[in-house]
Amino acid sequence: MDSSILTNYVWYQLFNPIWFILITVLAYFYIKTFVRSYRFEVNTNQKQYFFAAISLVYIVQGTPVAVVARDYLFSAHVLQLAIIFFIAVPLFILSLPPVFIRGYFWNYKMKFMIKILGHPWLTAIAFNGLLTIYLLPTVFNMLKENSVLLILAQVILVIHAFFMWWVIISPVPEVSNTAYLTRVGYIFFTSILLMPIGFFFLVVQKAHYPFYEAVAGDLLPVMTAIYDQQLAGGLLKVTQLGSYAYALLFIVRSWGRKEEEKEGQVDDANIRVARGVVIHLHHKRKK
pLDDT of 113 above 90: no
Number of structural domains (the chain) is 1
- Give the separation between CA 44 and CA 53, rounded to whole angstroms: 14
More confident site: 144 or 7: 144
**Distance between CA atoms of residues 165 and 182, nearest Å:** 14
Give per-residue pLDDT as tens, 264-276.
555 545 544 444 4
Where is pLDDT greater, at 7 or 215? Answer: 215
pLDDT tens per residue across span 36-61:
888 888 999 999 999 999 999 999 99
For 170, phi then psi, to 5°, come to 45, 70
Q: Residue 248 falls within a domain, yes or no?
A: yes
Asked if residue 73 belongs to a domain, the reply is yes
Please tell me the least confidently modeled range out of 3-17, 73-87, 105-119, 175-189. Answer: 105-119
Query: Is 286 a domain residue?
Result: no
Residue 173 pLDDT greater than 80, yes or no:
no
Phi, psi (rounded to 5 degrees) for 272: -125, 145
For residues 242-268, average pLDDT: 77
Helix, strand, or coil (residue 7): helix
What pLDDT is attached to residue 109? 60
Looking at the chain, the whole-number percentage of residues with pLDDT higher than 70 is 82
Task: Tally Cβ neighbours within 10 Å of residue 221.
Answer: 9
The top-scoring range by mean pLDDT among 87-96, 175-184, 253-262, 278-287 is 87-96
Q: Find out whether 99 and 249 touch, Cβ atoms under 8 Å.
A: no
In the chain, the amino acid numbered 265 is Q
Amino acid identity of residue 153, one-letter, is: A
- Domain extent, residue 58, equals 4-280
Within-domain flag for 285: no
